[in-house]
């Protein structure tokens, strides 16, 4: 129960942080802050499709993944406020999730 409450508290913090600054965050830290709520920490998906190992994203080029992040297809929000370096770091991080 304690563990559950802690998880809920953490989730609330993550959700609150979603609207907050992602400045200075890259790779896994940025992914866990901005993407994991829909795509799961391990990339296995949830509200959004899986982006990790065995997913459709494996077939996508780096440019296509970066494009999805910036545009926000369908119901995915756009992350066009991220710098090019941040977007690149997310693509690199997603590739590491796909290799696991």
Binding site for ligand HEC (CB under 6 A): 34-35, 37-39, 47-49, 51, 56-57, 65, 68-69, 73-77, 79, 90
Between 8 and 37, CB nearer to ligand HEC: 37
Phi, psi dihedral angles at 42 (to 5 degrees): -90, 5
Tell me how far, at minimum, the Cβ of 1 lies from ligand HEC, in Å: 28
Q: Report d(CA 7, CA 67) in Å as an integer.
A: 32
Count other Cβ atoms within 10 Å, centred on residue 82: 21
The residue (of 3 and 100) whose beta carbon lies closer to ligand HEC is: 100
* Chain centroid, CA 55 distance in Å: 14
Q: Report in angstroms how near the CB of residue 21 gets to ligand HEC at its nearest.
A: 14
Closer to ligand HEC by Cβ: residue 5 or 56: 56
Alpha-carbon span 7 to 89, nearest angstrom: 27
């Amino acid at each position: 129960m304690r563990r559950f409450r802690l998880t809920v508290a953490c989730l609330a913090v993550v959700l609150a942080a979603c609207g907050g600054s992602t400045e200075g965050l890259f790779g896994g830290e940025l992914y866990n802050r901005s993407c994991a709520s829909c795509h799961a920490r391990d990339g296995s998906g949830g509200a959004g499709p899986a982006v990790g190992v065995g997913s459709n994203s494996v077939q996508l080029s780096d440019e296509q993944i970066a494009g999805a992040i910036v545009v926000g297809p369908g119901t995915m929000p756009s992350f066009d406020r991220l710098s090019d370096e941040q977007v690149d770091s997310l693509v690199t991080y997603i590739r590491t999730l796909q290799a696991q």
